[in-house]
Copies of this chain bind each other. A is one copy, B any other.
Amino acid sequence: MGILENLYKMTAIQDIIGNPGYLLMLAIGAFLLYLGIRKQYEPLLLVPIAFGVILANLPGGNMGVVPSNLIELGEGHTKNLLEIAHDHGIMNFLYYSLIKTGFLPPIIFMGIGALTDFGPMLRNLKLAFFGAAAQLGIFTVLISAILLGFTAKEAASLGIIGGADGPTAIYTTIKLAPHLLGPIAIAAYSYMALVPVIIPLVVRLTCTNKELLINMKEMDKKYPSKVKIKNLRAVKIAFPIVLGIVVSIFVPSSVPLLGMLLFGNLIKEIGINVARLTEAATGSILNTATIFLGLTVGATMTAEVFLDFKTIMIIVGGFLAFAISIFGGVMAVKIANLFNKKKINPLIGATGLSAVPMASRVANDIALKYDSSNHILQYCMSSNISGVIGSAVAAGVLISFLQ
């Protein structure tokens, strides 16, 4: 009968039978939801990403992000947003206006900046240096990935997972290899959620008990630092301004990320006079950006794009990038300890990774397990926060050289 036939045609049953990849993707979406909801792995991002995966893989729903060659018209021209919405639906409208333009990651950085307190870093400034060594995973995995057949741009996007910073990874990938956005974002946020597993693993393989017992507060008493901060508020206001200008002169392509991070931080530190702005940056703007970032990044993972050998390589490579970055931070501390009397606990190198503030909490827990009086959280936060700056700078270098 005609009606039933038309009814059947309306459904997506035929599509799913024709491409069981859809079912696999739905299962992956459900698994990511499980990780986000039950395991509480970075739920703020993983839940929207997972739901985006599901929406994108409901055939006929018109909610999957289409490859950018369907948007390009040649000669540098593209469809406009009305045409994208009309031809490809609202998810592509959102993706191409908010993500492909590179808009949301700097906006999220503004919110993160307005939630970040540079105080712990300013009180232990020297430790900030270890945020540099913990970018090692980015560049070593980049080299490995090229060896394995990735293009330089793809390899850089894979490597940046080792920066352990979601928006930075997403921004870099948008600029260099947008077709890999889904798996790279998933890997970045998943491994950030797995920091309580990865840091202890690497630390156990690289550090001796004696090193892990180094007590930072005792070291501070023995070798007190000379600088006292008399006016923390003034320092905190001046710091993002000066840092922003100087860093930007050295790595101009990091301005969209670092500039917005420091702007967010500045309005936070100014305080009550611009509290309305800080409230918006950390509230409605950040939350709205998170929803749409998650859904659209998830929606890039259509069966056609995700079920690829590169996805597996990204998952493996992302893990290595994390591990090598932690290793780099630990080694830098060990080298510093060779030359200084004032010893540093290598856990403070491990937190140079970033993944603020979870890495610091994990490191603190390890330290307390070895010596229940060795509270190192405040020290860890210094390299931890500087690790955010470090990976944004690394991203700037990659974009500047490869774009």
Interface residues of A (CB under 8 A from B): 6, 10-13, 16, 26, 30, 33, 37, 40, 43-44, 47-48, 51, 54-55, 58-63, 71, 76-83, 85-87, 89-90, 93-94, 96-97, 100-103, 106, 237, 241, 244-245, 248-253, 255-256, 259, 263, 266-267, 270, 273-274, 276-277, 279-281, 283-288, 290-291, 295, 397, 400-401
On whether the beta carbons of A10 and B93 are closer than 8 Å, the reply is no
Min CB distance A114 to B, Å, is 10
On whether the beta carbons of A33 and B280 are closer than 8 Å, the reply is no
Q: Chain B contacts of A244 at CB under 8 A?
A: 54
On whether the beta carbons of A90 and B51 are closer than 8 Å, the reply is no
Q: Answer whether A284 and B276 are a contact pair too, CB < 8 Å, given A78-B82, A90-B106.
A: no
A398–B400 Cα distance when bound, in Å, is 45
Nearest-neighbor residue (CB-CB) of A277 within chain B = B291
22 A-B residue pairs with CB within 8 Å: A6-B401, A10-B250, A10-B251, A11-B249, A12-B250, A26-B245, A37-B237, A47-B267, A47-B274, A51-B263, A54-B241, A55-B255, A55-B259, A58-B245, A62-B256, A63-B256, A79-B82, A89-B102, A276-B286, A276-B290, A279-B287, A285-B288
Nearest-neighbor residue (CB-CB) of A52 within chain B = B263
Nearest-neighbor residue (CB-CB) of A285 within chain B = B288
Q: Chain B contacts of A279 at CB under 8 A?
A: 287
Q: Answer whether A11 and B287 are a contact pair too, CB < 8 Å, given A40-B273, A81-B101, A101-B90.
A: no
Q: Which of A59, A82, A284 has the most CB of B within 10 A?
A: A82
Q: Chain B contacts of A400 at CB under 8 A?
A: 10
A241–B50 Cα distance when bound, in Å, is 11
Min CB distance A156 to B, Å, is 14
A317–B291 Cα distance when bound, in Å, is 38
Min CB distance A41 to B, Å, is 10
On whether the beta carbons of B283 and A284 are closer than 8 Å, the reply is yes
Q: Chain B contacts of A83 at CB under 8 A?
A: 76-78
Min CB distance A204 to B, Å, is 29
On whether the beta carbons of A273 and B102 are closer than 8 Å, the reply is no
Min CB distance A335 to B, Å, is 22
Query: Looking at the complex, which one of B79, B251, B285, B286 makes contact with A11 (CB distance below 8 Å)?
Result: B251
By Cβ-Cβ distance, the 3 closest A-B pairs, closest first, are: A60-B252, A61-B255, A280-B287
On whether the beta carbons of A10 and B397 are closer than 8 Å, the reply is yes
Beyond A12-B252, A54-B259, 9 additional contacts (C-beta under 8 Å) are A10-B252, A43-B270, A54-B244, A80-B81, A82-B97, A85-B103, A279-B287, A284-B288, A285-B288
A101–B55 Cα distance when bound, in Å, is 18
On whether the beta carbons of B30 and A241 are closer than 8 Å, the reply is yes
Q: Chain B contacts of A100 at CB under 8 A?
A: 82, 85
Q: Chain B contacts of A40 at CB under 8 A?
A: 273
On whether the beta carbons of B250 and A11 are closer than 8 Å, the reply is yes
On whether the beta carbons of A277 and B287 are closer than 8 Å, the reply is yes
Min CB distance A48 to B, Å, is 7
Min CB distance A78 to B, Å, is 5
Q: Chain B contacts of A286 at CB under 8 A?
A: 276
Q: Chain B contacts of A94 at CB under 8 A?
A: 103
Q: Chain B contacts of A241 at CB under 8 A?
A: 30, 33, 54
